[in-house]
């Protein structure tokens, strides 16, 4: 399987890493590692999380208040959002997939 990020999701990821790193040195790196670990788990077990209305799956981060929304498209996992769980929960659903 391949893993791809929508451009918007990659921007969200980068901005969140920068936000946490500016908040406290090393915190951005911890966030980055948490997202990378979650993506590795998604690659290993893409169907582990239930499919939600709209066809996406969601993985909650264990420490940070973020989740990864993704779709499976054949042999590709498409990361649609790296989203804060308390801010505008459905904002990303209008993205072109």
d(CA 23, CA 69): 25
Domains of the chain: 2-84 (3.30.2310.20)
- Closest residue by Cα to residue 59 from 33, 82, 75, 77: 82
pLDDT digits (tens, 9 = 90+) for 17-43: 999 999 999 999 999 999 999 999 999
Total-model pTM: 0.92
pLDDT digits (tens, 9 = 90+) for 41-73: 999 999 999 999 999 999 999 999 999 999 999
């Amino acid at each position: 399987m391949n893993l791809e990020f929508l451009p918007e999701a990659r921007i969200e990821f980068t901005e969140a890493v920068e936000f946490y790193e500016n908040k406290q040195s090393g915190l951005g790196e911890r966030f980055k590692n948490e997202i990378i670990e979650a993506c590795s788990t998604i690659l290993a077990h893409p169907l582990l999380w239930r499919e939600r209305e709209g066809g996406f799956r969601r993985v909650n981060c264990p420490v940070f208040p973020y989740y990864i929304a993704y779709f499976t498209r054949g042999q590709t996992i498409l990361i649609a959002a790296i989203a804060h769980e308390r801010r505008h929960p459905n904002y990303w659903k209008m993205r072109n997939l």
